[in-house]
Amino acid sequence: MDIVRAPQKKTGRTVAIVGGAVAVIVLTVAVSSLDPAVPTVARAAVLVDSVRRGDVVREVRGPGTLVPEQIRWITAQASARVERKHFESGAQLKTGALILELSNPDLQIQTMQAEQQVRQAEIDLLNLRTNLRSNLLTQEGVVATTRTQFVSAQQEAQAADSLMKRNLISEFEARNRRAQAEEFTTRYRIEQERLALMAAAIDSQIAVQAGQVEQLKAIARNQQTRLRSLQVRAPDDGVLQELTLQLGQWVPEGTTLAKVVQPGSLKAVLRIPESQAKDVAIGQPASIDTRNGIVRGRVSRKDPSAVGGTVTIDVALEGPLPPGAVPDLSVDGTIEIQKMPNILFTGRPAFGPGSGTVGLFKLEPSGDYAVRVSVELGRSSVNTIEILRGLDVGDRVVLSDMTQYANVDRVRIK
């Protein structure tokens, strides 16, 4: 026989379950209401600088090289073959020193042909002058003969008129003599005009031929200069550089043969970033670090265009150069833009634009946390930048690149 038993009460278990659920809900709400965790930055990984007030010299800096102020490039004026080398790169040269001997038989033949053309043109000019003078003399004789005939015809015509009045000759004969007088009058005028034209044309014809002679002489002189250029000589005193030709090598016209420089007269050619070069002006003082000493100088030239993100600046050096200062030596140059007295400044941040408003992390007085503040930056130098608004003297700011924390306004410095 089955016995009916009453079910046990579950009051305690139910209370425990409900209480646990309530606790989970409360904990979830509490956690969700907390602020997100503050990221931590290692103190050794950031650069911290303080805000100061004082005088600052605004400078820009860039790498560069030492370049000779006077460079003479020697180029081939004619295609030729290298026959002999008298010096090697690095040799000290005197003006007129023979560096290379080149050869080109075709150029020698062309030079002789040009000289022969000049001689033939001079002979033609001489013959032209002789012929023109002879023709002029011949024409003067014709004019003289015609004048005699003209005078005689005039006299005969006058005599015929006088005899006809006395009925000593017929009217027909008188008319013939007057016609002859008119004929010789015309012929005399024509021969005089022909003589004038010949005399006027002599100078122009001689000038044309003389001009041709001078043109051929210029061509011959150019050929002679090209022929003499096969003897390559130093144009100035200096040091021979970049002579890489070998014996027997064929050199086309216009090829660079060598370079002669004056090592004692150097200038610095700097490459300044285009964002900083806008304030560089001619005459500004500069200092050049040769790794073996500092040389003072001044800006002498500024390239009007930027190439590869940099602007080329030439600095004329003042004073003696330190030992080891040679052409093509790598140097670092600093140009002084202006002096800024009594300004608020700090170190230049490693990120952001050179000026304008940026966000910087300012350390709290305890130094354990840094908060983002909006700072307006002004004029910048190589290592410093002007503070216009947002910071005060004594504030410490993080200058390192903090772009990875762009979504937070507070970091922990540990």
d(CA 131, CA 88): 60
Question: Domain 43-67+263-413's class?
Answer: mainly beta
- CATH number belonging to the domain at 77-103+230-261, selected among 3.20.20.140, 1.10.1660.10, 3.30.365.10, 2.40.50.100: 2.40.50.100
- Which DSSP string corresponds to 18-65? HHHHHHHHHHHHHHHTSPPPPPEE-GGGS-EEE-EEEEEEEEEEEEEE
> Average model confidence (pLDDT) for the chain?
83
pLDDT digits (tens, 9 = 90+) for 98-116: 999 999 999 999 999 999 9
d(CA 171, CA 164): 6
Give the model's confidence band at 34: pLDDT under 50 very low, under 70 low, under 90 confident, else very high: very low
d(CA 230, CA 178): 79
pLDDT digits (tens, 9 = 90+) for 120-140: 999 999 998 898 888 888 888
Listed residue (341, 340, 343, 345) closest to 395, CA to CA = 345
What pLDDT shows up at residue 120? 93
d(CA 289, CA 296): 9
Tell me what the mean pLDDT of segment 379-408 comes to: 85
For residues 358 and 330, is the Cβ–Cβ distance under 8 A?
Answer: no
AA identity, residue 329:
L
pLDDT digits (tens, 9 = 90+) for 8-21: 555 555 555 655 55
Query: Which secondary structure element, helix H or strand E, spans residue 362, and what is its range?
Result: strand 356-363
AA identity, residue 45:
A
**What pairs with residue 52 in β-bridges?**
345
What pLDDT shows up at residue 28? 55
pLDDT higher than threshold 90 for residue 312? yes
| Rounded alpha-carbon distances, angstroms, from residue 395 to 238, 367, 375, 384, 398 | 58, 11, 12, 15, 10
pLDDT digits (tens, 9 = 90+) for 323-334: 878 888 899 999
Q: What tokens appear for 393 in the block?
A: 């003297």
Listed residue (137, 141, 243) closest to 199, CA to CA = 137
- Which DSSP string corresponds to 230-247? TEEE-SSSEEEE-----T
Q: Under DSSP, is residue 5 helix (H, G, I), strand (E, B) or coil?
A: coil
What pLDDT shows up at residue 298? 93
pLDDT digits (tens, 9 = 90+) for 142-173: 888 888 888 888 887 777 777 777 777 777 77
Out of 35-49, 190-204, 211-225, 272-286, which region has the weakest mean confidence (pLDDT)? 35-49
Tell me what the mean pLDDT of segment 47-74 comes to: 88
**What pairs with residue 28 in β-bridges?**
none
> Which residues, including other chains, have CB under 8 Å from residue 43's CB and lie 6 or more apart?
413, 414
Opening angle at CA 376, ends 370 and 380, nearest 5: 105
What pLDDT shows up at residue 14? 55
Q: What tokens appear for 272 in the block?
A: 């300044």
- Which DSSP string corresponds to 273-285? EHHHHTT--TT-E
Out of 67-76, 156-165, 358-367, which region has the weakest mean confidence (pLDDT)? 156-165
Give the model's confidence band at 410: pLDDT under 50 very low, under 70 low, under 90 confident, else very high: confident
d(CA 106, CA 250): 14
Q: pTM of the full predicted structure?
A: 0.56
Neighbours of 222 (CB within 10 A): 13
Neighbours of 325 (CB within 10 A): 21
The alpha carbon of residue 60 and the mean position of all alpha carbons in its chain are separated, in whole angstroms, by 23
What's the distance, Cα to Cα, between the start and end of the chain in Å?
79
For residues 132 and 206, is the Cβ–Cβ distance under 8 A?
Answer: yes
What pLDDT shows up at residue 64? 93
What pLDDT shows up at residue 279? 84
Query: Which secondary structure element, helix H or strand E, spans residue 151, and what is its range?
Result: helix 105-165
Give φ, ψ of 73 to 5 degrees: -85, 135
What pLDDT shows up at residue 306? 86
Neighbours of 284 (CB within 10 A): 19
Tell me what the mean pLDDT of segment 238-251 comes to: 87
Out of 26-30, 137-141, 336-340, which region has the weakest mean confidence (pLDDT)? 26-30
What pLDDT shows up at residue 35? 47
Tell me what the mean pLDDT of segment 20-47 comes to: 63
